[in-house]
Chain A
């Protein structure tokens, strides 16, 4: 496989990642979100493997397998069981003002391209065109956390942000050292467990998973 084809494949995968990020931003059903998140993980994993093959950085294969295992199988599975046990699989979240959110998202993507232009000029890597997409994915994840009200969606937003960071690491420098990636993977897994525990507590306290309710905790003056 030549470098050129690899670069093109990588760009396609980056585009798919970006697409799923936008999908996450507007999807209203919890199941749909979960599927989109799993897809995003899959694209990420393939892209990492491709980059690893082209640049013959073989530790990237491990990262890729790890991503596949964690973000495509384990985390969606954990969230899935959570959704079942919390009995929220039929809920439809009201997403406010979809067009405005999309427009902000597009603005963020353009902004990311503008921001990473100097890096693209300097970089010699195969993946240089995808840095902007990675940065945009991070920002879209954050935007998702801001616009959504449901605790589970916020977690998915958080995980999507992490995906973006991982993607940025792969595309900017061919991945972080393996130790760091293992550490991050472990962190994510633990975070997912902690979130799971918190969901139950939040629901017990507020009888809902709507984070708006937490405003009640504020001290009145």
Chain B
């Protein structure tokens, strides 16, 4: 028994569950129970394998005699894969439990066989990506993952919007996959030359020495390929289209863990395969990460669609993760292993945290969507009375993602700031100047994220119902609640016990950066987190966790002893009386100040039309229309799309539709080849 056996058992179980689908296709309810239970169980197995691998720091590699002749598949489970296996397994477990209830809700409109099949294949694909140890198997798994998630996005395929979103996703995923393929090609070619094919294994790449220019080419190809999947700006456009239209359990997985496989790829290529790199790679990644974080959250604030807002917030969090990775790269290139370990820990911790809270938020949004059939926040409100459980979980997710203690988001962002504050030690004057600027942008991002989630929670759950049909709203069912409770509790645990998690991750940072953090970070036991030394900075999550409820209950008691201190008044009436629900404060009004300040970054169209049949002073109706769009569409994507259509039309002229012409093409080709060779 070893972690690898557990992990491969988990993958095989998921693949086996695909066979069940046709058998149970007639009995959809049973299919949902069986399939998602299997998915949950295999995620649990993978989770165990991951925790075990990282804890032990073991490296296991195997060769699987499948694939093409002479090109067998290589598999490997090291702490880095183990960590990502843990992340995927953890969220996979929770979301699979949640899915039982959620997918049963879909059953009333349509059969769910394809959803169930591709869901399991999707998770299996992610696990396969993580354990792959050669370019060939990696790309196959990568494509399995991309294709199955494409079908999941396409699940409700009768709507043109969904088909468009899925196509955009597939297109960008494939452009990224080509870049990754080319990058592996460069590294494989340099590893063994063109005499043998063995360069396709990661092991050969690990032992190769790359000249700086080629290494740069390989790194940036891989980086942009993976970044397209991760949703880095400017390659993020598929993300806000695809996540809202996918079923919510799928969006939770896509946003929570699929984006993370791209981060895995970046870390694998940078710290494991290329290993030695100049500092300016890190600087470029840092700049892109900062742009992604700030722009992502600004776009998120502008959204009215709850799931779209969450999707843009994923872009922001990918930015934060990339910032951590880039700092680790900078420190690593200047031979500062401990600092690099801190930055990498911060970023990996954020990977884990983001998986948890974004999974939780998407599950919450799914529960809301399930109950109200509504995605637009402007038509929701007051759900806290109808769905107390869901709103409590959503609130926990919001607090976590806004990086407020004692939840987990705070820990990883705080660690990232600690890494930023270590930058004066870097021996490059330029970076010394620029990195603090990055820290300030990250601070801005954190503040904007809090604003964004005040809006998300406030508009959805507080105030009064703005929509039309409030009578059908019901709380989420048992399995959905279980999934969300488990995720929320994990968020809290990760926030309270960071020292234990960092101690567990120690083998991972040691293997990738050569630095260890656990001995300094856990110097004072589980109570205090002291990343570099206690003189620099320290944070005690357990104490804060105890102090916050203490203060809250004191205030509560203080207010409740004096009965008169509490008045019950109509909700959100701002002191006016008799205002209708339609006159409430809205999400658009909430985000208006930021829209004014950062308006130049967006393409905003605001139309106000007043219907005043008698006199302008007595309007009957006022129509207000607001459209906020990505400027990148007009700056980058539309020109590229136009150019490719133009080129396609030109090439299309070769196609005459006559057999003879095609025959002439081959005839001329043969003659030319014969003459030349």
Contact = CB atoms under 8 A, between A and B. Distances in A.
Contacts of B108: none
A218 B658 CA distance: 9
For the complex of A and B, 5 pairs with smallest distance between CB atoms: A218-B657, A215-B657, A146-B663, A211-B659, A146-B660
A218 B656 CA distance: 7
A149 B659 CA distance: 9
A145 B670 CA distance: 15
Contacts of A145: 659-660, 663
B558 interface: no
B657 A142 contact: no
B655 interface: yes
A143 interface: yes
B554 to A, nearest CB: 75
Contacts of B652: 221
Given A115-B674, A221-B652, A211 B658 contact: yes
Interface in A134-186: 139, 142-143, 145-147, 149, 154
A214 B659 contact: yes
A139 B666 CA distance: 11
A153 to B, nearest CB: 11
A146 B664 contact: yes
B664 A212 contact: no
Given A115-B674, A143-B667, A221-B652, A214 B657 contact: yes
Interface in B658-677: 658-660, 663-664, 666-667, 670-671, 674
Contacts of A139: 667, 670
A219 B310 CA distance: 42
A146 B658 contact: no
A146 B664 CA distance: 6
B109 interface: no
13 contacts: A111-B671, A115-B674, A142-B663, A143-B667, A146-B660, A149-B660, A211-B658, A211-B659, A214-B657, A214-B659, A215-B656, A216-B657, A221-B649
B359 to A, nearest CB: 45
Contacts of B664: 146
A154 B674 CA distance: 24
A210 to B, nearest CB: 11
Interface in B583-632: none
A122 interface: no
Nearest to B649: A221
Contacts of B655: 218
A217 interface: yes
Given A115-B674, A221-B649, A146 B667 contact: yes
B656 to A, nearest CB: 7
A188 to B, nearest CB: 19
Main DSSP-derived SS at the A contact region: helix
Contacts of A218: 655-657
Contacts of A221: 649, 652
Contacts of B670: 139, 142
A111 B658 CA distance: 27
A147 B664 CA distance: 9
A111 to B, nearest CB: 8
A115 to B, nearest CB: 6
A218 B671 CA distance: 27
Contacts of B671: 111
Interface string B154-196: 0000000000000000000000000000000000000000000
Contacts of B656: 215, 218
Interface string B381-418: 00000000000000000000000000000000000000
A211 B661 CA distance: 11
Contacts of B657: 214-218
Contacts of A211: 658-660
Interface in B122-178: none
Contacts of A217: 657
Contacts of B663: 142, 145-146
Contacts of B667: 139, 142-143, 146
Contacts of A149: 660
Given A142-B670, A218-B656, 9 more contacts: A142-B667, A146-B664, A146-B667, A147-B660, A211-B659, A211-B660, A214-B658, A215-B656, A216-B657
Contacts of A111: 671, 674
Interface of A: 111, 115, 139, 142-143, 145-147, 149, 154, 211-212, 214-218, 221
A217 B649 CA distance: 17
Nearest to B648: A221
Contact of A212 (B649, B658, B666, B674): B658
A125 to B, nearest CB: 21
Contacts of B659: 145, 154, 211, 214
Contacts of B649: 221
A139 B330 CA distance: 63
A111 B670 CA distance: 12
A221 B657 CA distance: 13
B646 to A, nearest CB: 12
A81 B670 CA distance: 34
Nearest to B666: A142
Nearest to A147: B660
Nearest to A148: B660
Nearest to A144: B663
Contacts of B674: 111, 115
Interface string B636-655: 00000000000001001001
A202 to B, nearest CB: 11
A142 B664 CA distance: 9
A164 to B, nearest CB: 13
Contacts of A142: 663, 666-667, 670
A125 B649 CA distance: 52
Contacts of A146: 660, 663-664, 667
A169 B78 CA distance: 55
B650 to A, nearest CB: 11
Contacts of A115: 674
Contacts of A214: 657-659
Nearest to B653: A221
A145 B656 CA distance: 16
A218 B674 CA distance: 31
A144 B428 CA distance: 73
A145 B660 CA distance: 7
A146 to B, nearest CB: 5
Nearest to B660: A146
B468 to A, nearest CB: 45
Q: Which of B658, B659, B670 neighbours the largest number of chain A CB atoms within 10 Å of its CB? A: B659
A143 B656 CA distance: 18
A139 B675 CA distance: 14
A111 B649 CA distance: 36
A113 to B, nearest CB: 13
A146 B663 CA distance: 6
Contacts of B658: 211-212, 214-215
A193 to B, nearest CB: 20
Contacts of A147: 660
B649 to A, nearest CB: 6
Contacts of A154: 659
Contacts of A215: 656-658
B661 to A, nearest CB: 9
A143 B660 CA distance: 9
A145 B674 CA distance: 19
A147 B667 CA distance: 12
B578 to A, nearest CB: 62
A217 B666 CA distance: 21
B662 to A, nearest CB: 9
